[in-house]
Amino acid sequence: MCARFKGRSLSVINDLSVEEQIFLYQKTRELKEAHKEGRGLDAFRLKNPEASFYLLFMEDSTRTKESFRNAAAFHGGRVNLFDAAGSSFNKMESISDTVKMLVGYAPSSTFIIRSRLEGLTAFLDDTLGEYCVHHGIEKPVFINAGDGKHEHPTQELLDEFSFLEQKNWDRSAIHLAIVGDLFHGRTVHSKVNGLRIFDSVRVDLIAPKELMMPEHYIDEMKGNGFSLRIFASIEEYLTQDDTAGIWYFTRLQLERMGDEVLEKAGQLRKAVTFRREFMPLLKPGTRFYHPLPRHKEHPTVPTFLDNTALNGWDAQSVNGYFTRIIEIGLLNGLYDGEAEKSLPPVCAKPAPSSSFVKEMPLNPEPKISDRKVGIKPVENGIVIDHISCGPSIETIWNNIDRIRKVLHLNVRSSHGVYHRNDPNFYKGIISLPDILSFSQKEVKKLAAVSPGCTINFIKDSRVYKKLRLDMPPRVYGFSEISCKNEACVSHASHHESVMTEFLRAGEQTFKCKYCEKPFHYDEIWDL
Ligand code: CP
């Protein structure tokens, strides 16, 4: 039986199931109570003198770094603060090479990493896992301490813990206003799934369009069953009286914005900054939260609120220490025995289905040579049919082009765009008299570049086999694909030698395995 938590990494909030997150909150609550009552805390401490902790922060941090440093010190063992600024990164050493080397110096290690590279810890968990098996080293635990504008799962855990405290542990419902830079704010992006611990979720997003949450996160929240409303400013939000009791503010990350947006900085800031005149419009008992830091000149939560009952952010910040003690213990297996008794069994992830290739019944189809229009009849060979069926002729031509490049179809062929029963609908056809079969890899490529198409295998002018292709569950190992997110760890500009991998995420969408950015299937190709 494999261990429940030991050796797992935390790259995104969904790396822990809802039940596991609730378990973590319960343990944190027990720790806080024991701490408050001055009881012994040994039950919360790892008993492994060999344990070592590497804090590798390649972006600035105060709270996450210091709370993790203290949480690691609580557990004992070796706490190493990696000097990213003075390291061989400056000699163009890759992060994966650096971490490989550190793993050898620090057996039984937990790496806590902040980076602007999105998906870095997920990538390290993959590659270092294989490396450690090969070298007989215990696989390290990787904890994402914030990656670009992707996720900040440990901030999310302390945020949700703080909300639970305010709600006296009632998980039946939450009504949350999220205010500020929802575009860049990774703490907000982690809420898209972190809020699933509540049975019923209402979210009010408050931000001008320049700072609004990316569409795919909004869709995901809707997919999670959250009820959503969108407002352009706090002022607009307060013109109606159904306001949330919990407000979560974020800092404007102007340093990440282009000149066009920066020109409007004052206006954007005003839209998401709380003002004294708003005070009477708040619902009684409202509490404000903020991951901090606040901007010292332009805080979205002004300092005149510090000594009011609205201040939830100070206690929230302290919770970072307690939740992170539990996270380290959890991922190092401290609670595995207890978790086994109280949590539902771990289900092995089902292997991705390979049912993207479906053999179709053969209609008493006319001989290919009977086709009246266009395509050159094929006596023996392959016809790719139903390419990009739809109203857009341009899309079909583009996809015919892409298929020819992806499959390197430098052979005799004919191709074209044809009507599909309905006069407003078209489809593409490529006929290949010189090709008798496709390899599995070619079929998968075709499924990923043109889902919905069919492959007709023809012998003696008759179709003897017909396959319909759907989007594959995983696409990897093709040199023609790449993640187009420049901040993704797999982006070629970072030279981390990451094999691009996409996972099916919807009818026509793949998402990058590492940065999780979604792309329409025709966007993943470099052609
Ligand atoms: N909340 C947060 O991540 O703060 P730091 O940047 O100070 O770590």
Q: Which domain holds residue 483?
A: 474-523
Question: Is 263 found in the same domain as 208?
Answer: yes
Give the rounded percent of residues in the chain with a pLDDT score beyond 90. 85
In this structure, the answer to whether residues 378 and 425 fall within a common structural domain is yes
How many domains does the chain fold into?
4
Q: Are 76 and 49 in contact (CB under 8 A)?
A: yes
Q: Long-range CB contacts (< 8 A, 24+ apart) of 406-412?
A: 406/445, 406/446, 406/449, 406/478, 406/480, 406/525, 406/527, 407/438, 407/442, 407/445, 407/446, 409/435, 411/435
Q: What pLDDT is recorded for position 346?
A: 78
CA 65 to ligand 1: nearest atom: 8
Domain stop point among 424, 444, 469: 469
This prediction has a pTM of 0.94
Say whether both 180 and 300 belong to one domain: yes
What is the domain-level CATH number for residue 395?
3.30.70.140
Per-residue pLDDT tens for 323-338?
999 999 999 999 999 9
What letter would DSSP give residue 146?
E
pLDDT digits (tens, 9 = 90+) for 212-264: 999 999 999 999 999 999 999 999 999 999 999 999 999 998 777 788 778 89
Is the C-beta atom of 155 inside 6 A of ligand 1? yes
Residue bearing the bigger pLDDT, 253 or 303: 303
6 assigned to some structural domain: no
In a domain, 165, yes or no: yes
CA of 168 to the centre of ligand 1 (A): 26
Look at residue 370 in the predicted model and tell me its pLDDT. Answer: 44
Q: In this structure, which residue's CA is closest to atom 1 in ligand 1? A: 291
Question: Which residues lie below 8 Å from residue 225, measured CB to CB, with a gap of 6+?
Answer: 201
Same domain membership, residue 295 and residue 176: yes
Mean pLDDT confidence for 404-415: 93
Closest ligand 1 atom to Cα of 67:
8
In this structure, what is the dihedral angle of CA atoms 409, 412, 413, 414, given to the nearest 10 degrees? Answer: 130
- From 430, 451, 469, the end of a domain falls on 469
- Same domain as 115, residue 187: no
Q: Are residues 199 and 171 in the same domain?
A: yes
In a domain, 141, yes or no: yes
2, part of any domain: no
Note whether 165 and 286 are same-domain residues.
Answer: yes
In a domain, 7, yes or no: no
177 with 225, same domain?
A: yes
Domain-embedded: residue 171: yes
Is there a single domain that holds both residue 394 and residue 458? yes
Any domain includes 446: yes
- In the chain, the percentage of residues whose pLDDT exceeds 70 is 96
Domain boundary among 445, 469, 493: 469
Are residues 133 and 163 both part of a single domain? no
Distance 95 CA to ligand 1 centre (A): 22
* 243 is a domain residue: yes
Residues 6+ apart with CB under 8 A from 306: 314
Q: Kindly state if the Cβ of 317 falls inside 6 Å of ligand 1.
A: no
Q: Residues 71-129: pLDDT tens digits?
A: 999 999 999 999 988 888 888 999 999 999 999 888 789 999 999 999 999 999 999 98
Q: What would the pLDDT profile of 166-194 be if each residue is shown by its tens digit?
A: 999 999 999 999 999 999 999 999 999 99
pLDDT at 292 exceeding the cut of 70: yes
- Residue 369 — very low, low, confident or very high, per pLDDT cuts 50/70/90? very low
pLDDT digits over 453-507, tens only?
999 999 999 999 999 999 999 999 999 999 999 999 999 999 999 999 999 999 9
- 168 and 261 housed in the same domain: yes
Res. 384: pLDDT tops 80:
yes
Question: 25-74, pLDDT tens digit by residue?
Answer: 999 999 999 999 999 999 999 989 899 999 999 999 999 999 999 999 99
Q: Do 148 and 171 fall into the same domain?
A: no
Q: Which amino acid is at 177?
A: A
Task: State both tokens at 480.
Answer: 């023609």
